Structure 1
Amino acid sequence: MKLDRTTCYKAVAARDRRFDGWFFVGVSSTGIYCRPVCSVRTPQFANCHFFPSAAAAEKNGFRPCLRCRPELAPGHGIFDAASRLAQAAALLIDDGFLNLADMPQLADRLGITERHLRRIFNVEFGVSPVEYAQTQRRLLAKRLLSDTALPVTEVALAAGFGSIRRFNSLFKQHYGFAPSRLRQRSTSTVQSDTMTFELAYRPPLAWDALLDFLAARAIAPIERVDQRVYRRTLALTVGARRYCGWLVVENVPGRHALKVTLPATLSGAVPQALGKIRRLFDLACRPDVIDLHLGPMAQRLPGMRVPGTVDGFEIALRAIIGQQISVAGARCLLTRLVERFGEPLAAAPAGLTHLFPTAAALADASSGEVQAIGLTQARTATVMAVTQAVATGALRIDPLAPLDETLAALRSIRGIGDWTAQYIAMRGLGWPNAFPAGDLVLQRHFGLSSAKALGVHAEQWAPWRAYAALHAWRQHHEESTA
């Protein structure tokens, strides 16, 4: 990323939240690096050094600010095709991939050589993938020390450090003080059985619209929305261990952040959990860029997000079971599926009783058992085909899966057409240009009679067609219920 010093300094002086997370400023007179939105007095221009990542700032000898807390900055969105692979590598590292694997495995996961990965990553972030990963571990540990009551040993392990001794040594070496200093600064009100974090976003955020979308599709045993708060159950696999728990998310508009509460049972999977939540709520979104491109469509409701998912397999089944029936009808069938095949979960918030079925668990069921929830024979066959493909690893549904190959694999399954594939791409693959042109609601909303005509009409919104679809769905609903 090329950073223009004058532009960056203007953003720092204005505390412009549009740039939060896109660069960091190191101040030579203090040796501290900050987010552009830091509330401290604006440093002199001559003392400012700008970096594309927190890792680059730390590589150059700067320590993180204890006021603005760089670890809370929102992440990058994947906009430029040239940087997509580097951003994909960063997402994997943020989720703790290098805590359990090495560089050759990371390169293999992305389908490129290790040499090429190092080169493109350094161009994008100014550091090597290993240096980036080391910084992310330290920043995660800093966050856990400040915001949770986890014992220091558990903090070190959760952040990916091999031993408490190495953790203490590296932390003091890079930050100039012992980890215990942050634990002393943390408030005494932190609960020992839960963990609370903030995930920043770039305003505006159409929070009510986002929750309305999720609420209309909420599957009762695993998720619920009430009083503008989102709750759901969650299962994560880290290495050979499976962690089960739940999450609670609410908006804190005054801080431009989401407040996330997790149970201590997920302490070993914090990076993975926070990564899932960032993608579920599309927190890497740049509304200033997207809303400007969509023009009048976005003026009615700026800050629209495309809801993602915590589980690509879940989104695939939602899309398949929801074909050609109402949202309420799909929700009813999915509730039966979860109650019949989902794993019960104890000690979850009121009303949440199960985890969504894993592909492995559903693959062990017979077609007759799955059809018994109320599916047609053809729909059951499609569900089972996708289940087998995901369970065997032949199909991956996540934002890092290869787009074209994954769409082709989905369309090759009998019963999956373009609408279903595009919906899965929108929410499961995180593809911002996905657009279900075969959607009859969208066709009626724009007064067009065919998917082909709508597809041509939607080209004006590329590469943000998924956001245009969300705006159109909401506007159609508002007009039909007025």
Structure 2
Amino acid sequence: MTTTLHCHMPLPANFRADGFLDFHRRDAQQVAERVYEQTLEKGLLWHGQPALLRIALQPQQAEASLLLDGASRRDDEALLASTVRHMLGLTQPVEAFEAVVAGHPQLGPLLARQSGLRVPQTSSGFEALAWAIIGQQISVAAAVSIRRRFIQAAGRRHSSGLYCLPDADCAAGMDEASLRAAGFTQGKAQTLLRLAAIVASGELPLAAWQFAPDAAQIGKQLAAIRGIGPWTISYALLRGFAWLDGSLHGDVAVRRNLQRLLARDDKLEAAEVEAWLAPFSPWRALVAAHLWAMQSSDGY
């Protein structure tokens, strides 16, 4: 049995389609995400069922469909609309941020060039956390490769042929050996399996928080999981829950691009970057996203 759901929604005049599509085309092999023209196709598990999410961007609107290998549930059309709006960053109050920061001597000109930048979101909080764990202290290229092998090791595919991103239940059923074979270090493999088990048990209700996150509570519970530290928490809150106030001062690309923005010859230490970002609360992670966008291949 297959089911197809549809939704469409208006886009702001300054919506940056390239930024959204670039985030999802990081893996040139396109095993789980396919980008062509102005369209994203993404394999994922929807209530545990293989699904293909298609988002087509037009000048003034986005049209989305969900092709399920199975039956839909009563609230799935509303959930699809919320998921697409979230993934496109349409819930993010970027206009208010840009109005406040427009006069800043360094950030103002950068924002003028990058007006309308939103932070593309993952399809779920677990996807963001898995990506953050994989990406700890390695390059984007290395993280992309490990993520690809992780998805393939999970082995779930949609009838279209695209692999589906593992959800927590799927990941909890994997073992350390298969993750190590995919390129995880022992520590990262154990962290991911701990996280997946906690989410699958319902102890960490990521899905319930996705569209109305309690950042303090999420951060507190994540910090209690061995192997998850401040960068992982801030990154996951940014990419998975659209929380724009995490301080990503430890991120290598943020530090490097802030050095460029400030025209500094000396490398910036994390503590100095943290202090520089502090006055921009509650927008610190959005500032980091603008710094990533200065050199888009640098950022997670």
**TM range, smaller chain:** 0.7 to 0.9
Question: Cα distance 1:263–1:381, how it changes in 2: closer, same or farther (>3 A)?
Answer: closer
- Are positions 1:362 and 2:171 aligned together? yes
**1:466 aligns to what?**
285
Quick check: which has more Rg, 1 or 2? 1
Aligned equivalent of 1:246, options 38, 52, 56? 52
Question: Cα distance 1:477–1:236, how it changes in 2: closer, same or farther (>3 A)?
Answer: closer
**1:411 aligns to what?**
223
- In structure 1, the gaps of 5 or more residues are 1-191
| Per-residue deviation, residues 190-216 of structure 1 (Å, max 9, x unmatched) | xx9755432123331111122222322
Aligned equivalent of 2:157, options 344, 359, 364? 344
CA distance in 1, matches of 2:191, 2:86: 26
Aligned equivalent of 2:196, options 384, 387, 394? 387
Shift of 1:232: 0.5
Amino acid at match of 1:334: R
Question: Cα distance 1:370–1:428, how it changes in 2: closer, same or farther (>3 A)?
Answer: same
**1:275 aligns to what?**
82
| Per-residue deviation, residues 158-184 of structure 1 (Å, max 9, x unmatched) | xxxxxxxxxxxxxxxxxxxxxxxxxxx
CA distance in 1, matches of 2:295, 2:201: 40
Shift of 1:450: 2.2
**1:433 aligns to what?**
245
**2:276 aligns to what?**
457
**2:113 aligns to what?**
300
**1:231 aligns to what?**
41
Question: Cα distance 1:344–1:193, how it changes in 2: closer, same or farther (>3 A)?
Answer: closer
| Per-residue deviation, residues 13-55 of structure 1 (Å, max 9, x unmatched) | xxxxxxxxxxxxxxxxxxxxxxxxxxxxxxxxxxxxxxxxxxx
Question: Cα distance 1:273–1:418, how it changes in 2: closer, same or farther (>3 A)?
Answer: same
Q: Which has the higher contact order (CA 8 A, sep 6+)?
A: 2
Deviates most, 382-391 or 442-451: 442-451
Any idea what SS the aligned residue of 2:14 has? coil
| Per-residue deviation, residues 197-238 of structure 1 (Å, max 9, x unmatched) | 32123331111122222322577322122223211023323x
**1:212 aligns to what?**
22
Any idea what SS the aligned residue of 1:356 has? coil
User: What TM-score, normalized by structure 1, do the two folds share?
Assistant: 0.54
Aligned equivalent of 1:329, options 120, 142, 147? 142
Any idea what SS the aligned residue of 1:365 has? coil
CA distance in 2, matches of 1:382, 1:262: 31
**1:353 aligns to what?**
162
Amino acid at match of 1:330: A
| Per-residue deviation, residues 394-413 of structure 1 (Å, max 9, x unmatched) | 22332434211211222222
Deviates most, 314-323 or 209-218: 209-218
Identity of aligned residues (%): 26
| Per-residue deviation, residues 295-345 of structure 1 (Å, max 9, x unmatched) | 213101111011112121111111101112221211111111111114121
Question: Cα distance 1:365–1:212, how it changes in 2: closer, same or farther (>3 A)?
Answer: closer
How many residue pairs get aligned? The number is: 278
Amino acid at match of 1:387: A
Contact persistence 1:399–1:428 (CA under 8 A): no
Contact persistence 1:399–1:429 (CA under 8 A): yes
- Are positions 1:197 and 2:7 aligned together? yes
CA distance in 2, matches of 1:464, 1:212: 22
Any idea what SS the aligned residue of 1:317 has? helix
Amino acid at match of 1:274: A
Any idea what SS the aligned residue of 1:216 has? coil
Any idea what SS the aligned residue of 1:415 has? coil
CA distance in 1, matches of 2:163, 2:71: 16
Aligned-CA RMSD value: 2.4
Aligned equivalent of 1:258, options 44, 57, 62? 62
Contact persistence 2:133–2:188 (CA under 8 A): yes
Shift of 1:243: 4.7
**1:85 aligns to what?**
none
Amino acid at match of 2:62: L
Any idea what SS the aligned residue of 1:233 has? strand
Amino acid at match of 1:220: Q
Any idea what SS the aligned residue of 1:446 has? helix
CA distance in 2, matches of 1:391, 1:300: 42
- Are positions 1:286 and 2:93 aligned together? yes
- Are positions 1:378 and 2:197 aligned together? no
